[in-house]
Amino acid sequence: MLDSITFQLVAIVMLGIVSQWIAWRFKLPAIVIMSLVGLIVGPLLHLFNPEESFGELFNPIISLAVAIILFEGSLSLDIREIKGFRRSIFRISTVGSLITWITGSLAAHFLAGISLDVSFIIGGLFIVTGPTVIMPLLRQAKLKERPATILKWEGIVVDPFGALVALFAMEAVLWANKMITGTSLLMFFGASVLTAIIGIGAGYLLGRLLEHGYIPEFLKSPIVLVSVLLVFVLSDGIMHETGLLAVTAMGIVMANMHLTSFRDLLHFKENISVLMISSIFIMLTASLSNNTLMDILNWRMLIFVLAMLFIVRPLSIWLSTIGVGLTKQERTLIGWIAPRGIVALTVSGFFAGRLSEAGFQDADIITALTLALVFATVLAHGFSISWLARKLGLQATEETGVMIVGGSPFSAIFAEAIQSYNKPVLIIDRSWGALSQARQLGIKTEVGDILSEHTEYHVDLTPYEILIAATEEDSYNALICQRFVPELGRENIFQTPIHTGDPSDYSKSIGGKALFDQDNDIHTLNRYIDEGYMIRKTQLTEQYTLGDFLEDDSHKTIPLFAVDKDNNLVFLSNAKKRAFEPGTTIVSLTSPTRKMEKALEKASNVDIPTKD
């Protein structure tokens, strides 16, 4: 069964997704888990070798997957996102890349002992970072907006640029050694320009077809996917590796056309990209030979990798970002984070084969050197990015933030109660006046429509992993919840109970999980606030359980959320079905009469001393 190609293909996909789940469950870098799993099933246990099993299909599968990943990444490159730091991204992608190319080539020659010709090519290849490794790290680290955006743009833009630089370097080396003519070198530049035009033209044409209704909804995502693959294959047929440039240009053009169906396309491509990244990393690492792994342990390679980590990358960032307005902390973080990924691994195989055919003796070492840098950067940056961001004050938050949509008296005191446990809280509403009480209580507020593009690009939503829709419009709440399901997950999205109509009118797949009891909709809760209801915190003990709390004059107390001993929030969508350990605090909305009764009860139990 292990020899079956069908079984191996399914096993690879399954192992990739399981690796992603393990990384999510234990808060570990996903790239690290996928790489280790691939090494275990491949060169360590020899369960299967995808490169041998798939034969001639192996490289095309990898190439097509990389094309989809790059296109999906470039779809997120909206120019509006970088309004305040375009200079930083431009300088890092140009001047920084040039410095990395030169210093990386020198390090490969003098430290790894590779010939100057081959080092010149390797230096160009190692410019790339890439979305396959950057995007998972950014999701893990929760960086502040500016460093996160700069790293994302650099990774996606430089990926095809680095491959082209390495391709140019190889053509230049072959020309200098009189293995090709000057005409071939000119053809390289012509092919690069032509494929970029193909990508731009295809992206614009496809965007217009989508926007004007020439493609039905059910065919939009499939046609976009097929178009990406077609553009990649045609461009790569003109000149190897230029297909990456074409699909990146195609994605950037479509991202900046502001298509009405853009979000649906983006969600589809994100799902495909996760599947591709998971599978490709397993395939690449499982196909490695023991000899290649042994080559990595060469001391000269290790010195080269250390130089790339601690000298080449920081130097390129610090020099290229002089005078662009970045803080020392931001330059330090960006100067450390530069993990290499799938593109570097796949492209290195092409260059190794081409240079070996041309007679360069040390071409075989390119794959091992690339693998060493990929593993080292993935491990070093994967385990350090969150720690370093926290130390430099560039992490948006360590705590789970809560975003409440809908300003009201109840939302204000609800947010204040959450914030009292050091949780980031944001209230968004379309009305400035609706947020007045929240502002008075020191709650962070934003005026705007959560569903508008303006809010998306001007409000940093990174710290907020939980969303509560609490406007007075039931249908609007449901729409908000449905919009954020792909980003936050259904388990992190709540809405106040339906106020008008029958709750069964709303499908379980529409809207978020209902907070509180059905009778306590936002209108009722706001009325309670007007009547003087207030926040009460009750700690559970072994003697006083949740059941006791719920039975204790429940008609005057509304449980809102719980906070366990580790300061984790648990929203009470159905309090009666939950069990909490002693030490958990229940935060509730309590009537003023109940508060007074508790105070009188407490006072009656106090012995008042009398005078003799």
For residues 498 and 545, state if they share a domain.
no
Residue in 99, 150, 169, 111 with CA at minimum distance from that of residue 347 = 169
For residues 292 and 211, state if they share a domain.
yes
For residues 360 and 443, state if they share a domain.
no
For residues 282 and 414, state if they share a domain.
no
Pairing of strands 425-429, 444-447: parallel
Number of domains in the chain: 3
% of the chain surpassing 70 pLDDT: 86
Cα–Cα distance measured from residue 210 to residue 260, given in angstroms and rounded to the nearest whole number: 9
For residues 264 and 205, state if they share a domain.
yes
Predicted local confidence at residue 608, as pLDDT: 43
Q: How confident is the model at residue 598 (pLDDT cuts 50, 70, 90)?
A: low
For residues 419 and 364, state if they share a domain.
no
For residues 11 and 151, state if they share a domain.
yes
Give the DSSP H or E segment for 308: none
Dump pLDDT digits (tens) for 88-106. 888 998 899 999 999 999 9
Q: With contact defined as beta carbons under 8 Å apart, do 496 and 477 qualify?
A: yes
The mean-pLDDT minimum among 134-143, 358-367, 597-606 falls in 597-606
Dump pLDDT digits (tens) for 510-567. 677 888 877 888 999 999 999 888 898 888 888 887 777 777 655 578 888 989 888 8
Domain-terminating residue out of 366, 391, 416: 391
Domain membership of residue 381 (yes or no) is yes
Predicted local confidence at residue 230, as pLDDT: 95
Dump pLDDT digits (tens) for 107-157. 999 998 888 888 988 888 888 876 667 777 776 777 887 888 888 888 877
Q: How confident is the model at residue 311 (pLDDT cuts 50, 70, 90)?
A: very high
For residue 314, how many other CB atoms are within 10 A of its CB?
A: 16
Domain membership of residue 522 (yes or no) is no
For residues 387 and 476, state if they share a domain.
no
Q: Which residues pair with 570 in a beta bridge?
A: 562
Domain-terminating residue out of 330, 360, 391: 391
For residues 176 and 203, state if they share a domain.
yes
Cα–Cα distance measured from residue 166 to residue 163, given in angstroms and rounded to the nearest whole number: 5
Helices then strands, counting H and E runs in the chain, come out as 26, 10
Q: Does residue 370 carry a pLDDT above 90? A: no
Q: Which residues pair with 428 in a beta bridge?
A: 405, 446
> What distance, in Å, lies between the first and last C-alpha atoms of the chain?
94
User: What predicted TM-score, i.e. pTM, was given to this entire model?
Assistant: 0.68
Domain membership of residue 611 (yes or no) is no
Q: How confident is the model at residue 202 (pLDDT cuts 50, 70, 90)?
A: very high
For residues 287 and 235, state if they share a domain.
yes
Q: How confident is the model at residue 398 (pLDDT cuts 50, 70, 90)?
A: low
For residues 54 and 103, state if they share a domain.
yes
Residue in 569, 547, 572, 548 with CA at minimum distance from that of residue 559 = 572
Highest mean pLDDT among 47-61, 179-193, 425-439, 529-543: 425-439
Residue in 446, 383, 438, 447 with CA at minimum distance from that of residue 413 = 438
240 burial (CB, 10 Å; 0-12 / 13-18 / 19+) is middle
Domain membership of residue 153 (yes or no) is yes
Q: Residue 598 is part of which domain span?
A: 531-605
1 burial (CB, 10 Å; 0-12 / 13-18 / 19+) is exposed
Any residues with CB less than 8 A from the CB of 143 and at least 6 apart, and which?
151, 333, 385, 389, 394, 395, 396, 462
Structure tokens at 572: 């009470």
Any residues with CB less than 8 A from the CB of 46 and at least 6 apart, and which?
none
Predicted local confidence at residue 439, as pLDDT: 92
% of the chain surpassing 90 pLDDT: 21
Pure H helices in 420-571: 436-440, 453-458, 474-488, 522-530, 546-551
Predicted local confidence at residue 231, as pLDDT: 94
Structure tokens at 328: 């020392």
Long-range pairs, 454-457, Cβ under 8 A, ≥24 = 455/428, 457/78, 457/80, 457/81
124, HSE (Cβ side, Cα atoms, 13 Å): 22
Domain-terminating residue out of 457, 480, 514: 514
Q: With contact defined as beta carbons under 8 Å apart, do 211 and 260 qualify?
A: yes
Any residues with CB less than 8 A from the CB of 367 and at least 6 apart, and which?
292, 348, 349, 352
Q: The CATH number of the domain where 47 resides is what? A: 1.20.1530.20
For residues 364 and 477, state if they share a domain.
no
Cα–Cα distance measured from residue 490 to residue 55, given in angstroms and rounded to the nearest whole number: 41
Q: Does residue 587 carry a pLDDT above 60? A: yes
Cα–Cα distance measured from residue 367 to residue 348, given in angstroms and rounded to the nearest whole number: 6
Q: Does residue 249 carry a pLDDT above 60? A: yes
Q: With contact defined as beta carbons under 8 Å apart, do 201 and 188 qualify?
A: no
Q: Which residues pair with 401 in a beta bridge?
A: 464
Highest mean pLDDT among 505-514, 557-566, 588-597: 557-566
Dump pLDDT digits (tens) for 2-16. 667 888 888 898 998
Q: The CATH number of the domain where 415 resides is what? A: 3.40.50.720
* 129 Cα distance to chain centroid: 15
